[in-house]
Amino acid sequence: MSISSSRHPAQPNSVQIFYPLSTVRCDGPVLFRDQLARDIACILDVDNDIVSWSCRSFALTQDGQTYRPDFHVHRADCSFLVDGVREEVAPEWVREQAARADLSYETVKSSELPPVRLRNAKDLLRYARHEAPLSDRIRLLAALDECSSLTVAEALIVFRETKPVAGLASMILHRFVTIDLDDRLIGPETVIRRKRD
């Protein structure tokens, strides 16, 4: 998308609450500008290529003006900036200044967010503060080593020390196991596999 407007989006310092509340790979304070930014962060949290991301942490400046894109995102091989596309767009010079900092600048419209993945990400992130105990993790991973895959309904039976859905969601978010987030909403028939590097 080309940035052509001189109107700058408001970047208030006040903290607003957007749901879901918890994150997994946010490094630093959670400072979402709006629900679009929160939704983009949900997608970042379930992207297996993302190591970490931070909110409005990278400042771009020109002629005394400062602009902070929504996210500074880190992958194993690179880092880049991500901004949500709103009615009021970023300054024209943002992309050029990002390039000078050796960062690509990507923009995302709300219509470009994959709806099924976003819904699944939000469902999982409701449990981001939970942690599957070691015993439950070992039981599920051992079962997957034996069977290669399980359905969600089969996997839930394994959990004994924590609430099954919370434990399974935690293991998905922390990349012990993997599921298809794009095909359909998570259900009892969703297939789980052990995450392999």
53-64 tens-digit pLDDT: 999 999 999 999
pLDDT per residue over 1-29, tens digit each? 333 333 344 455 555 789 999 999 999 99
Residue 15 shares a structural domain with residue 96 = yes
Residue 42 shares a structural domain with residue 78 = yes
Q: Which of 113, 131, 153 is the last residue of a domain?
A: 113
Q: Which distant-in-sequence residues (6+ apart) come within 8 Å of 53 by Cβ?
A: 25, 26, 27, 41, 44, 71, 72, 73, 74, 82
Residue 156 shares a structural domain with residue 140 = yes
Q: Which of 62, 90, 113 is the last residue of a domain?
A: 113
Residue 123 shares a structural domain with residue 164 = yes
Cα-only R_g, the chain: 19
Residue 105 shares a structural domain with residue 138 = no
pLDDT per residue over 150-194, tens digit each? 999 999 999 999 999 999 999 999 999 999 999 999 999 999 999
Q: Which of 68, 93, 113 is the last residue of a domain?
A: 113
Tally of structural domains, the chain:
2
* 162, HSE (Cβ side, Cα atoms, 13 Å): 21
On the question of pLDDT at 38 being above 80, the answer is yes
Residue 109 shares a structural domain with residue 12 = yes
Identify whether the C-beta of residue 101 lies closer than 8 Å to the C-beta of residue 79: no
Residue 83 shares a structural domain with residue 153 = no
Residue 8 shares a structural domain with residue 96 = yes
On the question of pLDDT at 79 being above 60, the answer is yes
Residue 95 shares a structural domain with residue 134 = no
Residue 144 shares a structural domain with residue 86 = no
pLDDT category at 128 given cuts 50, 70, 90 is very high
Residue 23 shares a structural domain with residue 87 = yes
| Full domain range(s) for residue 180 | 116-194
Q: Looking at residue 10, which CATH number applies to its domain? A: 3.40.1350.10
